């Protein structure tokens, strides 16, 4: 590649650089992968985009419409009967043109996704596959490049446009009432009865096998995604086969407003000596172009690229294209074109991108594409203009062998009134990721079809970022009228070792707190926002029975020794009966009874989750006992009598059970039952971990403000739910700071927390950020009114 010509600082600052000396992309400006969209089992053949949507043309005959904000599939445009080879967006009309191997162009409204027209080229199926499209707003003309080497165009006259406006909300009458001559020689037919274009017949030239094979022309010869379709018995219309693609939403084939056809006068035969693969309008009207808006007096040009290895430049007028210049690109077909200003970038089959300056008609550069770039996040130099903390977030050591806590504070606007202070608690540690079951690297963030994949994205890094971004956004807008303190720990998944001690030690740095916000769980369904108001507590206990001797052989000592395993089985079997009732004395004494309001709530939630209300109650508000495993000393052979047997059990407790009392009762019960066995073996009981239950205050103004923020953002009433799991830090922080806690779940029920392919919806993150913003603004307003 030739080196750039050196320029003086003065000249480069006073005039726009010429095309030959435009700044190339710096080595430090590597592209960053933002998101991936995947249409399963179907190649992507073309792309287009508008402000709200991304459109991907499918080898499977359809056009997929993706939401540009959430990256989720919004709808699927059906009707083509062969691969969709080209897309073109008309921003002035808000239309989408799709061209296909079925020799038809479909025109869609990007506001309603209604099919407006089916446009056929002149010669119908003799034109072959339609490879390229380009739209001219000033001429209201669509240009199409055909497989039969012709360049064709169709102009949407005022009569047609009025027809669209008049009938956009309903069906066309049998007769349009328009003078066909006012549309040139375009054919306007009544709405199609079948709602789909007829698959074109096999072309004797384009779809033929080599002559020596002596085989007739066949549609399978032309890269079609579908075979010939059998006719339905009712109306003779083709019946497309089903596509095994979970990404495609099922949408009915639509009936167009009318059928249009390119007139014979709008064809340039043999525009190239090869297929017309690509084209571009100059000046460019595409999103992202730095060309100035097109004015009526400016010359319009069309650039076309072909399999004959040439690029042709055409002058455009209302009478049609006129050839200005032909550019020879050497060997290989021209497969892609992009224009910026007077510069044309031609992607060629020989692996080169050839850059031409149209003003001088000279080749500026040839760039060989020989490798895939490694995409790395750019390094940041310089300070962020918006400081979100006083200095950098502060790590707080929690022990010699534990991960530190991170403390960060977003300080709101200072007023004469003391700011309220909200403490957000989250955790950055994760559980290990299995080596199998993941579709991507679990420790590299991967974006696909509206979801972010990676270990910890939903538990709990995604919600942490949503809260931090909400506070930063308000701070940037000078709208943060309270202080948000973030305490992020690194030991939550392993028992929060050292957490309480570290919080006590650094309480002066954290300061006084008025409320606690947590976001560390998921909804009970895919599309129903929730607010959590209760968690069960937990007691983890390890039980060990041993004879303090060596392992024995069952064939030698079986029957002559008191086996620890037999004692363990009897002891564990005494904990719970056949009706799942825990046998510990007084275990259920303080459990709150189920009230009428809660019964009604469970009835509603049962309908949402299709789960019996009794099952929800058992998981959320009733205590339980679980036996997790049994471990033995020595090898796990069928002939070994283990000398030591260990088991882990846990209790889930609920309001108003006393955590310490239940733990003590468990130990006392085990000791009494073991003593009754009169075994010579020894018993050891260790309580490894305890966490209290938590129940929110549903009438608290903090809770009602958060609930209102969810309602206002999502437009529906959030479901009030409880959870069977435990978050030890929530009840601890409530007691430590003497205030209420709030729990805002942001994940969906399918987020796979702790499992392979853990993910989180982009939409949930975006709306979660907005919910937190609304909540912080609402609480600050309530504080001002008090």
Angle at 82 between CA 81 and CA 85, to 5 degrees: 130
Mean pLDDT of 727-754: 95
What CA–CA distance (Å, rounded) separates 764 from 770?
Answer: 10
pLDDT of residue 675: 97
Of the pLDDT bands very low, low, confident and very high (cuts 50, 70, 90), residue 775 is very high
Q: Is the pLDDT of residue 39 over 80?
A: yes
pLDDT of residue 421: 96
Maximum average pLDDT range among 190-199, 341-350, 389-398:
341-350
- Where do the domains of the chain lie? 34-270, 274-374, 394-536+695-785, 537-588+623-691
What CA–CA distance (Å, rounded) separates 725 from 520?
Answer: 11
Choose the CATH number for 34-270 among 3.40.50.300, 2.40.128.630, 1.10.3720.10, 3.10.450.50: 2.40.128.630
How is residue 431 written in tokens? 């559980």
Contact 339/303 with Cβ under 8 angstroms?
A: yes
Cis omega (within 30 of 0) for bond into 370: no
* Between 193 and 218, the higher pLDDT residue: 218
pLDDT of residue 16: 39
CB within 8 Å of 367: residues ≥ 6 apart: 1, 352, 353, 354, 355
- Give one DSSP letter per residue of 353-368, joined into a string: EEEEETTTTEEEEEEE
CB within 8 Å of 374: residues ≥ 6 apart: 30
What CA–CA distance (Å, rounded) separates 484 from 413?
Answer: 11
Distances (CA, A) of 340 to 142, 303, 317, 345: 20, 12, 21, 8
DSSP 8-state secondary structure symbol assigned to residue 656:
T
pLDDT of residue 332: 85
Q: Is the pLDDT of residue 482 over 60?
A: yes
pLDDT of residue 6: 35
* Between 31 and 76, the higher pLDDT residue: 76
What CA–CA distance (Å, rounded) separates 601 from 736?
Answer: 31
Long-range contacts of 613-621 (CB under 8 A, 24+ apart): 619/724, 620/534, 620/536, 620/721, 620/722, 620/723, 620/724, 621/534, 621/536, 621/592, 621/594, 621/654, 621/722
Distances (CA, A) of 46 to 43, 63, 289: 9, 9, 19
Q: Is the pLDDT of residue 191 over 90?
A: no
Chain segment 666-697, per-residue pLDDT in tens: 999 999 999 999 999 999 999 999 999 999 99
First to last CA, the chain: 70
Of the pLDDT bands very low, low, confident and very high (cuts 50, 70, 90), residue 163 is confident
pLDDT of residue 88: 97
Annotated catalytic residue, options 62, 459, 491, 492: 492
Chain segment 609-647, per-residue pLDDT in tens: 899 999 999 999 999 999 999 999 988 888 999 999 999
pLDDT of residue 460: 96
Strand partners, 453: 446, 759
CB within 8 Å of 210: residues ≥ 6 apart: none
pLDDT of residue 291: 59
Give the three-class secondary structure for 770: helix
Q: Is the pLDDT of residue 187 over 80?
A: no
Q: What is the mean pLDDT of the chain?
A: 83
Superfamily of domain 394-536+695-785: Zn peptidases (3.40.630.10)
Which residue matches tokens 């549903």?
698
Positive or negative CA dihedral for 421, 422, 426, 428? negative
* Between 554 and 2, the higher pLDDT residue: 554
- Give one DSSP letter per residue of 288-319, joined into a string: T--SPPP-TTSPEEEEEEETTSEEEEEEE-TT
Angle at 87 between CA 82 and CA 92, to 5 degrees: 140
H or E element at residue 425: strand 421-427
Domain 537-588+623-691 sits in CATH 3.30.70.360: yes
Contact 291/341 with Cβ under 8 angstroms?
A: yes
> Taking Cα atoms as reference points, which of 742, 763, 770 lies closest to residue 527?
763
Chain segment 256-281, per-residue pLDDT in tens: 888 999 999 999 999 999 999 999 99
H or E element at residue 670: helix 659-677
Q: Is the pLDDT of residue 466 over 60?
A: yes
Share of the chain above pLDDT 90, in %: 67
pLDDT of residue 533: 96
Strand partners, 135: 142
The radius of gyration of the chain from alpha carbons, rounded to an integer in Å, stands at 35
How is residue 48 written in tokens? 């287009």
Of the pLDDT bands very low, low, confident and very high (cuts 50, 70, 90), residue 289 is low
Of the pLDDT bands very low, low, confident and very high (cuts 50, 70, 90), residue 11 is very low
pLDDT of residue 201: 57
What CA–CA distance (Å, rounded) separates 272 from 665?
Answer: 90
Q: Determine which of 216-225, 610-619, 669-678, 751-760 has the lowest per-residue pLDDT on average.
A: 216-225
How is residue 168 written in tokens? 């956009």
Ramachandran sector of residue 559 (left: φ over 0; alpha: ψ -120 to 50; beta: rest):
left
Contact 659/735 with Cβ under 8 angstroms?
A: no
Choose the CATH number for 274-374 among 1.10.10, 2.70.98, 3.30.1540, 2.40.128: 2.40.128
Q: Is the pLDDT of residue 47 over 80?
A: yes
Maximum average pLDDT range among 243-247, 384-388, 411-415, 720-724:
720-724
Annotated catalytic residue, options 62, 207, 308, 429: 429
Q: Is the pLDDT of residue 218 over 90?
A: no
CB atoms within 10 A of CB 771: 28
Maximum average pLDDT range among 25-39, 175-189, 340-354, 650-664:
650-664
34-270 and 274-374 in the same fold = yes
Positive or negative CA dihedral for 225, 231, 232, 234? positive
* Between 368 and 227, the higher pLDDT residue: 368
Q: Determine which of 390-404, 507-521, 534-548, 574-588 has the lowest per-residue pLDDT on average.
A: 390-404
Contact 482/779 with Cβ under 8 angstroms?
A: yes
- Give one DSSP letter per residue of 69-123, joined into a string: TT--EEEEE---SS-EEEEEEETTTTEEEEEETTS-EEEEETTT--EEEEEE-TT
What CA–CA distance (Å, rounded) separates 530 from 743?
Answer: 10
Mean pLDDT of 495-511: 92
pLDDT of residue 747: 96
Ramachandran sector of residue 682 (left: φ over 0; alpha: ψ -120 to 50; beta: rest):
beta
Q: Determine which of 414-428, 505-519, 730-744 has the lowest per-residue pLDDT on average.
A: 414-428
Q: Is the pLDDT of residue 304 over 70?
A: yes
pTM of the model: 0.75
pLDDT of residue 401: 81
29 annotated active-site: no
Q: Is the pLDDT of residue 198 over 50?
A: no
758 annotated active-site: no
DSSP 8-state secondary structure symbol assigned to residue 205:
T
How is residue 491 written in tokens? 């030991």
pLDDT of residue 17: 38
Mean pLDDT of 481-492: 95
> Taking Cα atoms as reference points, which of 300, 313, 284, 357 lies closest to residue 151?
313
């Amino acid at each position: 590649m030739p080196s750039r010509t050196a320029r003086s600082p003065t000249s480069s600052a006073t005039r726009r650089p010429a095309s030959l000396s435009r700044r190339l992309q710096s080595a430090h400006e590597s592209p960053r992968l933002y998101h991936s969209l995947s249409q399963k089992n179907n190649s992507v053949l073309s792309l287009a985009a508008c402000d709200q949507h991304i459109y991907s043309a499918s080898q499977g005959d359809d056009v997929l419409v993706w939401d540009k904000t959430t990256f989720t599939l919004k709808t699927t445009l059906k009707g083509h009967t062969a691969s969709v080879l080209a897309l073109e967006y008309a921003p002035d009309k808000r239309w989408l043109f799709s061209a296909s191997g079925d020799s038809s162009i479909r025109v869609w409204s990007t506001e309603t996704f209604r099919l407006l027209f089916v446009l056929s080229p002149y010669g119908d199926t003799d034109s072959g596959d339609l490879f390229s499209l380009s739209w001219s707003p000033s001429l209201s003309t669509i240009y199409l490049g055909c497989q039969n080497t012709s360049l064709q165009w169709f102009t949407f006259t005022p009569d047609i446009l009025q027809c669209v406006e008049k009938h956009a909300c309903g069906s066309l009458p049998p007769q349009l009432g328009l003078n066909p001559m006012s549309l040139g020689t375009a054919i306007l037919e009544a709405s199609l009865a079948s709602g789909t274009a007829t698959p074109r017949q096999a072309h004797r030239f384009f779809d033929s096998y080599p002559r020596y094979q002596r085989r007739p022309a066949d549609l399978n010869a032309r890269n079609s995604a579908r075979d010939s379709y059998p006719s339905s018995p009712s109306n003779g219309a083709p019946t497309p086969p089903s596509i095994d693609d979970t990404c495609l939403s099922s949408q009915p084939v639509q009936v167009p407003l009318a059928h249009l056809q390119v007139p014979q006068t709008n064809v340039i035969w043999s525009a190239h000596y090869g297929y017309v693969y690509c084209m571009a309008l100059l000046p460019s009207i595409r999103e992202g172009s730095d060309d100035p808006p097109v004015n009526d007096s400016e010359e319009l040009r069309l650039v076309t690229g072909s399999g004959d290895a040439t690029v042709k430049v055409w002058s455009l007028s209302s009478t049609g294209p006129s050839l200005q210049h032909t550019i020879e690109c050497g060997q290989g077909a021209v497969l892609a074109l992009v224009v910026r200003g007077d510069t044309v970038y031609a992607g060629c089959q020989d692996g080169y991108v050839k850059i031409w300056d149209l003003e001088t008609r000279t080749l500026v550069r040839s760039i060989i594409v020989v490798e895939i770039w490694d995409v790395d996040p750019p390094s940041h130099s310089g300070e962020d203009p918006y400081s979100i903390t006083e200095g950098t977030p502060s790590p707080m050591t929690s022990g010699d062998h534990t991960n530190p806590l991170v403390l960060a504070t977003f300080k709101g606007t200072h007023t004469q009134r003391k700011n309220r202070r909200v403490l957000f608690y989250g955790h950055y540690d994760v559980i290990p990721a299995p080596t199998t079951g993941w579709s991507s690297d679990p420790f590299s963030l991967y974006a696909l079809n509206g979801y972010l994949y990676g270990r910890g994205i939903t538990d709990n890094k995604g919600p942490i970022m949503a809260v931090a971004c909400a506070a930063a956004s308000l701070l940037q807008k000078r709208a943060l009228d309270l202080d948000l303190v973030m305490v992020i720990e690194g030991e939550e998944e392993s028992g929060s070792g050292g957490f309480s001690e570290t919080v006590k030690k650094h309480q002066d740095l954290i300061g006084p707190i008025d409320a606690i916000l947590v976001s560390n769980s998921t909804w009970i369904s895919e599309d129903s926002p929730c607010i959590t108001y209760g968690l069960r507590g937990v007691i983890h206990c390890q039980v060990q029975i041993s004879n303090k001797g060596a392992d024995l052989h069952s064939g030698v000592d079986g029957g002559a020794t008191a086996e620890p395993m037999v004692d363990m089985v009897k002891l564990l079997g005494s904990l719970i009966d056949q009706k799942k009732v825990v046998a510990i004395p007084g275990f259920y004494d303080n459990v709150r009874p189920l009230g009428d309001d809660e019964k009604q709530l469970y009835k509603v939630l049962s309908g949402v989750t299709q789960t019996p209300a009794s099952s929800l109650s058992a998981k959320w508000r009733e205590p339980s006992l679980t036996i997790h495993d049994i471990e033995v000393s020595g090898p796990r052979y069928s002939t070994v009598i283990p000398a030591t047997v260990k088991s882990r059990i846990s209790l889930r407790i609920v309001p108003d059970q006393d955590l310490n009392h239940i733990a003590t009762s468990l130990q006392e019960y085990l000791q009494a039952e073991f003593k009754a066995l009169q075994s010579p073996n020894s018993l050891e009981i260790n309580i490894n971990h305890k966490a209290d239950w938590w129940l929110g205050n549903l009438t608290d103004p903090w809770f009602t403000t958060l609930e209102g923020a969810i309602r206002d953002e999502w437009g529906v009433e959030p479901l009030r739910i409880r959870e069977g799991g435990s978050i030890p830090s929530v009840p601890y922080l409530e007691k430590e700071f003497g205030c209420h806690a709030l729990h805002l779940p942001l994940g969906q029920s399918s987020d796979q927390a702790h499992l392979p392919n853990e993910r989180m919806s982009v939409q949930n993150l975006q709306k979660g950020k907005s919910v937190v913003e609304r909540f912080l603004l609402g609480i600050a307003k309530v504080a001002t009114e008090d």
